[in-house]
Structure 1
Amino acid sequence: MAMLRARLLRLFLSPSNPIVKPSVLAGSSHRRSQRGFGLGEFRRGFSGTLVPELTTDDAASTAGADDEIERIQREFEEAKRNFDNIPEVLKEIPKMNPEGIYVNKNVRLDTIQVYGFDYDYTLAHYSENLKILIYDLAKKHLVNELKYPESCLQFEYDPKFPIRGLYYDKLNGCLLKLDFFGSIELDGCFFGRKKACLIADIVQHFVDAKLDFDASYVYEDVNHAIQHVHKSGLLHRTILSDPRKYLVKNSQVLQFLQKLKEKGKKLFLLTNSPFYFVDGGMRFMLEDYRDGRSWRELFDVVIAQANKPSFYTSEHPFRSYDIERDTLAFTAVSRFLPNEVYYHGCLKSFLQITKWKGPEVIYFGDHLFSDLRGPSKAGWRTAAIIHELENEIQIQNDERYRTKQAQFHIIQELLGKVHATVVSTERGQAYKKLMDDLNMHRRHCRDIMRSLFNSSFGATFLTDTGQESAFAYHIHQYADVYTSKPENFMLYTPDAWLHVPCDIKIMPHHVKVPSTLFKPH
């Protein structure tokens, strides 16, 4: 690292013009969003058109400020000349593994005796066709049952618009992307959006038609439609009618479960989905690998329609489910029998029956609130399954992204030096020109980095300024570890110790080019 630091310093800092004053970053996004600045106002905040008239007493200090500005300008020109050399330097920074396990809290796998799994998006891998299906079914429900205009049936799902972890402002009808501190990201706010996700399409329709509407009603109706699609069984029946279109077969999931069983681990399935849907999906995904044996033999306990997240706080009793008759038994459940299926229940009864202690249990799920928040509070270890992780890490490893990220940090550093050097009374033409140039290059870097992920909202885990997003915050809060799919755990031995990285970062899968690499010693 010392050698890398030295090379970076030689590349970007002019030895004859060191700036030794302390630097501060130019305006945090947290402060900007609270004041409601748009992008245009953001630029004017650095390069306003009104320049105070200088007095004779200010002349000396202005000359000194101009000297400092000239030094920073030369440093910037030197950095731009060396931008093409950045990729060679960054090759020495290791790339992250898209299929790795990333650790927020230390986990000793040798102490984990029980592995629990959600079904949807955890054990079951779905194709992109599922999102289109949910969109179309919910759209039809809005028109047929809630009497939305028939023109809404023309809407089409656009997979390039939404990302995971967005927020909806029910008061104003805006889709928002928030940063780690809950502030709205610049350019991360959309009021309607043609060919977008359903809620944005509906808002766009009312806007285009110049109709008055309450944004909270739109939210409630769309949410109701999506809930109906799931709870009515319409979605489940459609998936099972053509499983090859929606489900992805994956032998590695089976290998992972079998490996755990061979090591003497206990396994349980805890899902909100009905048993017939889980059974149909598991049989389809594993039928080529089980030689006719039931997938239920892999699990010590199978619980369907668990009603998470209330499962973790309620006192609902377990009911034994009769697979043949599709009925629930009336007898009390005092123990879990092999090859049986149970409905409903609660965490309190689950722990009383199994005698499994919290710290020896790890639960895998994709939904941070309904799957992982309850277990984390109950003392279970938690593993978040984030399918978007692989693609985001692959982009972060890409030379184009790393190059623009390095350039972005260099410009941020120079902006900090300008603000640490020049006070408001010393802002002349040289200052304005430099600030315009720096801000232009920073916007260029930010736009390119955003476009590599998602042209509308950028990265799922990061804001355009390199801060972690609100979605990243919730992963950090509720997931002890996170990865793209459960079978990634096969890359580690069952007795491995998973440690938080020694170089402290909020999200351990991020590799950043810190501005400190470009500071003189």
Structure 2
Amino acid sequence: PFTLRDKGMKHMVGKNWRDLFDLVIVQAGKPNFFTDRRKPFRKLDEKGSLQWDKINQLEKGKIYKEGNLFDFLRLTGWRGSKVLYFGDHLYSDLADLMLRHGWRTGAIVPELETEIRIINTEQYMHSLTWQQALTGLLERMQMYQDAESKQVLLEWMKERQEIRSLTKNLFNPQFGSIFRTFHNPTYFSRRLVRFSDIYMASISCLLNYDVNFTFYPRRTPLQHEAPLWMDQLCTGCMKTPFLEEMVHIR
């Protein structure tokens, strides 16, 4: 209800919080808001009481209840890629808007904060770097089939598997990262990329960027492509250094 939202926003933002928004809609009834045309918009007065006047326009500073996406589009003219919509559920919030209406979408993933913190630890970076180095060494050196070389390769494979398990367990001992299973993206990660143009841990992350900042998609190399820029280089893709060149990593 509006009274609860109003008290919460006044506490977090200030008594004039409505000035920051072009429109305020409460109790929209998602996900039916996006698919059901039957519920019209209704206006609430300052006390939160429902008014029954027909809504012919949506005004800044007013509070509206329920409604539906089709009336919203008609009354605002906000269509297609001009709209960036944020939600915290891929299917009930983002999928229909992106697939059926062409809106830009942003996903809020609170777990991302913890994952980024782990990724930035020295233990994770060290483990992942050495894992990639071992992978490259195995790819390059497996052509040597003498007994001594085979023994070294077996030791490398064992160590690589141990490091893979270690890096996975850093996120969660039961199922690892919500974004990646070893080198593969998880089902959630693939759906996230499919239904969102951008994702972040909190909407407040955007405070780090200018209002005119443009986010460009990163080009991810395919398996047959060699990465050409530093943030996508991996040891196993291009020239693999010899062991003596990797000593400093260990």
TM-score range, shorter chain: 0.7 to 0.9
**SS at 1:281 equivalent:** helix
Q: Is the 8 A contact 2:137 2:240 kept in 1?
A: no
**SS at 1:409 equivalent:** helix
After superposition, the C-alpha distances for 1:359-378 in whole angstroms (9 at most, x for unaligned) are 21111222221121122121
Tell me: CA distance 1:333–1:362, structure 2 relative to 1, closer, same or farther (3 Å). same
**SS at 1:356 equivalent:** coil
Unaligned runs of 5+ in 1: 1-273
Tell me the CA shift for residue 315 of structure 1: 0.6
**Which of residues 92, 105, 130 in structure 2 aligns to 1:407?**
130
After superposition, the C-alpha distances for 1:387-416 in whole angstroms (9 at most, x for unaligned) are 222332232222211221122223333444
After superposition, the C-alpha distances for 1:266-302 in whole angstroms (9 at most, x for unaligned) are xxxxxxxx3233223212212xxx3xx3322222211
**SS at 1:276 equivalent:** helix
Structure 1 residue 365 corresponds to structure 2 residue 87: yes
Structure 1 residue 478 corresponds to structure 2 residue 191: no
Partners of 2:48 and 2:87 lie apart in 1 by 27
What is residue 68 of structure 2 aligned with on the other side? 346
Partners of 2:26 and 2:11 lie apart in 1 by 18
Structure 1 residue 459 corresponds to structure 2 residue 177: yes
Between the two proteins, what is the percent identity of the paired residues?
31
Tell me: CA distance 1:275–1:325, structure 2 relative to 1, closer, same or farther (3 Å). closer
Q: How does 1:134-213 map to 2 (within 5 A)?
A: none
**SS at 1:384 equivalent:** strand
Q: Is the 8 A contact 1:373 1:478 kept in 2?
A: yes
Partners of 2:35 and 2:211 lie apart in 1 by 30
Partners of 1:294 and 1:281 lie apart in 2 by 12
Partners of 1:402 and 1:511 lie apart in 2 by 15
Tell me the CA shift for residue 514 of structure 1: 4.2
Tell me the CA shift for residue 451 of structure 1: 2.8
Q: Is the 8 A contact 1:317 1:344 kept in 2?
A: yes
What is residue 246 of structure 2 aligned with on the other side? none
**SS at 1:297 equivalent:** helix
Q: How does 1:213-292 map to 2 (within 5 A)?
A: 274-286=1-13, 290=14
Q: How does 1:405-444 map to 2 (within 5 A)?
A: 405-416=128-139, 421=143, 433-434=151-152, 436-444=154-162
What is residue 225 of structure 2 aligned with on the other side? none
Partners of 1:501 and 1:325 lie apart in 2 by 48
Tell me the CA shift for residue 487 of structure 1: 2.5
Q: How does 1:7-26 map to 2 (within 5 A)?
A: none
Structure 1 residue 388 corresponds to structure 2 residue 111: yes
Tell me: CA distance 1:514–1:415, structure 2 relative to 1, closer, same or farther (3 Å). closer
Tell me the CA shift for residue 455 of structure 1: 1.7
**Which of residues 21, 26, 38 in structure 2 aligns to 1:299?**
21
**Which of residues 61, 78, 88 in structure 2 aligns to 1:356?**
78
After superposition, the C-alpha distances for 1:154-200 in whole angstroms (9 at most, x for unaligned) are xxxxxxxxxxxxxxxxxxxxxxxxxxxxxxxxxxxxxxxxxxxxxxx
Q: Is the 8 A contact 1:318 1:342 kept in 2?
A: no
What is residue 247 of structure 2 aligned with on the other side? none
What is residue 245 of structure 2 aligned with on the other side? none
Structure 1 residue 447 corresponds to structure 2 residue 169: no
What is residue 328 of structure 1 aligned with on the other side? 50
Partners of 2:235 and 2:140 lie apart in 1 by 15
Tell me: CA distance 1:454–1:318, structure 2 relative to 1, closer, same or farther (3 Å). same
Q: Is the 8 A contact 1:319 1:342 kept in 2?
A: yes
Tell me: CA distance 1:431–1:309, structure 2 relative to 1, closer, same or farther (3 Å). farther
Relative contact order, higher structure (CA 8 A, sep 6+): 1
Partners of 2:232 and 2:177 lie apart in 1 by 14
Counterpart residue identity of residue 35, structure 2:
T
Q: Is the 8 A contact 2:43 2:53 kept in 1?
A: no
| TM-align CA RMSD | 2.9
TM-score (norm 2): 0.78
Tell me the CA shift for residue 445 of structure 1: 0.3
**SS at 1:371 equivalent:** helix
Q: How does 1:305-316 map to 2 (within 5 A)?
A: 305-316=27-38
Q: Is the 8 A contact 1:309 1:370 kept in 2?
A: yes
Partners of 1:485 and 1:323 lie apart in 2 by 31
Tell me: CA distance 1:416–1:382, structure 2 relative to 1, closer, same or farther (3 Å). same
Tell me the CA shift for residue 517 of structure 1: 4.3
After superposition, the C-alpha distances for 1:117-159 in whole angstroms (9 at most, x for unaligned) are xxxxxxxxxxxxxxxxxxxxxxxxxxxxxxxxxxxxxxxxxxx
